[in-house]
Every structure is written in C-alpha cells, then in structure tokens.
C-alpha cells in the first residue's frame, strides 16, 4: 500500500521504535511507516488502517507492537475474532494485562457477553491501572446491557470514579455511559443530569453528550449550511422550470404561425 511522502516512520512512539530495533534497519523503517499509517487512519478510515496493519503484520509478525496495532485495526473494523486473536498474541509476547478490557469487549462483539463478564471478574483486572479498571467497568456494564440487565448495568457503573468531581481522561465516557443506561431504563430526569455532567467533563468532544442533552431538552439544531444548499437547489430548480416554460411558449408561438399559414393556403 502507498505511503505518503510526509511519513518517515519517526512519528511512532519511542517504545514501539525500541521494539523495532530487533529488525534490520530497512525493514524496521518500512514497518514503522505502516504503523504510522495505522495510527493516522484508524479513527477516520478503519478499513484503510486495517490494510496497513496487514502489511506491517506480514513484515514483522513477531513484534508485539505490530500484533497490537493489527488487533486495534481489526477491532476498529469490527473484525472481532481477528482482533481477539491478535490481542492474545500480543499479550503472550509481553505478559501485560493492558489489553484485557478490549479483549473482553471483543467477546461482546462476538455475541458472548457472559464471557466478557467472566473476564471482568478475573484476577487480571486487579493488575490494571485506574484507566484500565474504568474501561473494564464500561465493558462489564455493556455486557449487562447486552443481556437485557439494565439495572445491573447501572449498578456496575456506580463507582468512586463516577462520583468523583475530579475530571480524568475517562470521566466523560463513564458519565455518558451512566446517563445512557439511565435513559434506557426510563429514568429520564437522572439521565439528563448525567448527560449534563458528561458535557462538563467532555473537553475534547469524545462523546455526543451535548447532542443527547439537547434532544432531551427538545432543542432542534438547524444546519445552516444544509439550508443554504436547499435554497440554492430550489433556486436552480425554479430556473430550470422557467427556462422550460419559456421554451414551451416559443414552441407554441411557432406552432401557431405554421398552423395559420396552412389555413391560408
């Protein structure tokens, strides 16, 4: 797959670069460039990221960082079975538990929420850092919802991290998930409160909490750009109609003249 000229491979994380040092220099550079493309595309073009991850995997399948990147690209493309296999491979290579929550979410994606819940109660969870534990809680709550256990999902999300006034990278997503679960359970007033709290903590717009809150408040957003396009389309359509009518009028007048001449003859 083509690599843009502005990609050098130096953009990758230093830890990944260190892993790639086990490869010959030229090969390491090629792998690094493909990993950069995975990171660049994974949010906007998951399938494109997946394609680059397959190239990196073909070049260096024994590098844990490559297996992990391939896992995330497959996960973003909803290829959960493949993602789970790559995550397991990366974990075997490193012994780390950081991927445990996303592995559990792959089980959800494969329609096995019970397996995800088993993983949420496994000893590995206690080895996760705070961010990983919150992520695991989100996955467990999602699994409960998959099983139709809304009340249990709500209870699962109730935690010190949810109640804390301190805003952390996970705060907005945690509050959003809690608000969404409350809304699904028919607790609209509480849901509105927590969507508002999610908006307060969502500094980088990682959720659509503001839209959900506006929806609950009955606010409708008007897309001014779309309206301008509609007006322009309407004007263009009117112009076409006018031109057609003018042509019809000319044709009618010409036709009448011929008819009159025929009668005279």
Note the pLDDT tens digit of each residue in 45-69: 999 999 999 999 999 999 999 999 9
Q: Tell me: the pLDDT tens digits for 227-241?
A: 566 565 666 556 655
Give the model's confidence band at 223: pLDDT under 50 very low, under 70 low, under 90 confident, else very high: low
Let me know if 51 is exposed, middle or buried by CB neighbors in 10 A (0-12, 13-18, 19+): middle
CA distance 41 to 48: 6
**Lookup: tokens for 127:** 């080895």
Determine how many CB atoms are found less than 10 A away from the CB of residue 192: 18
Mean of the per-residue pLDDT values for the chain?
88
pLDDT in tens, 63-77: 999 999 999 999 999
27, 59 contact by CB (below 8 A): yes
Alpha-carbon span 170 to 59, nearest angstrom: 34
* pLDDT tens, position by position, 148-184: 999 999 999 999 999 899 999 999 999 999 999 999 9
Cα 201 from Cα 87, distance rounded (Å):
30
Under DSSP, the state recorded for 121 is T
Model's pTM, two decimal places?
0.79
Residue linked to tokens 């999602």: 142
More confident residue, 263 or 132: 132
Helix then strand count (H, E) for the chain reads 14, 0
Averaged pLDDT, 101-110: 98
pLDDT of 218: 83
The pLDDT of residue 221 is 57
| CA distance linking residue 32 with residue 18, whole number of Å | 11
Give the pLDDT of residue 265: 38
d(CA 56, CA 86) in angstroms, rounded, equals: 13
């Amino acid at each position: 797959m083509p690599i843009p000229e502005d990609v050098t491979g130096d953009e990758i994380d230093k830890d990944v670069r260190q892993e790639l040092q086990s490869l010959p220099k030229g090969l390491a550079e090629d792998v690094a460039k493909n990993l950069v493309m995975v990171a660049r595309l994974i949010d906007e073009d998951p399938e494109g990221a997946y394609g680059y991850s397959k190239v990196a995997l073909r070049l260096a399948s024994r590098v844990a960082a490559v297996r992990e990147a391939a896992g995330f690209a497959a996960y973003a493309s909803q290829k959960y079975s493949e993602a789970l296999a790559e995550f397991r491979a990366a974990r075997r290579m490193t012994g780390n538990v950081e991927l445990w929550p996303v592995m559990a979410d792959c089980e959800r994606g494969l329609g096995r929420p019970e397996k995800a819940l088993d993983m949420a109660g496994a000893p590995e969870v206690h080895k996760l850092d705070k961010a990983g534990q919150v992520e695991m809680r989100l996955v467990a709550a999602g699994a409960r919802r998959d099983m139709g256990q809304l009340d249990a999902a709500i209870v699962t999300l109730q935690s010190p991290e949810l109640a804390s006034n301190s805003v952390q990278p996970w705060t907005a997503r945690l509050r959003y998930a809690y608000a969404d679960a409350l809304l699904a359970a028919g607790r609209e007033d509480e849901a509105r409160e927590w969507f508002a709290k999610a908006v307060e903590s969502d500094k980088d717009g990682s959720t659509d909490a503001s839209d959900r809150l506006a929806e609950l408040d009955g606010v409708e957003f008007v897309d001014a750009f779309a309206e301008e396009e509609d007006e322009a389309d309407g004007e263009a359509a009117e112009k076409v109609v006018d031109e057609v009518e003018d042509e019809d009028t000319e044709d009618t007048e010409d036709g009448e003249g011929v008819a009159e001449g025929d009668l005279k003859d």
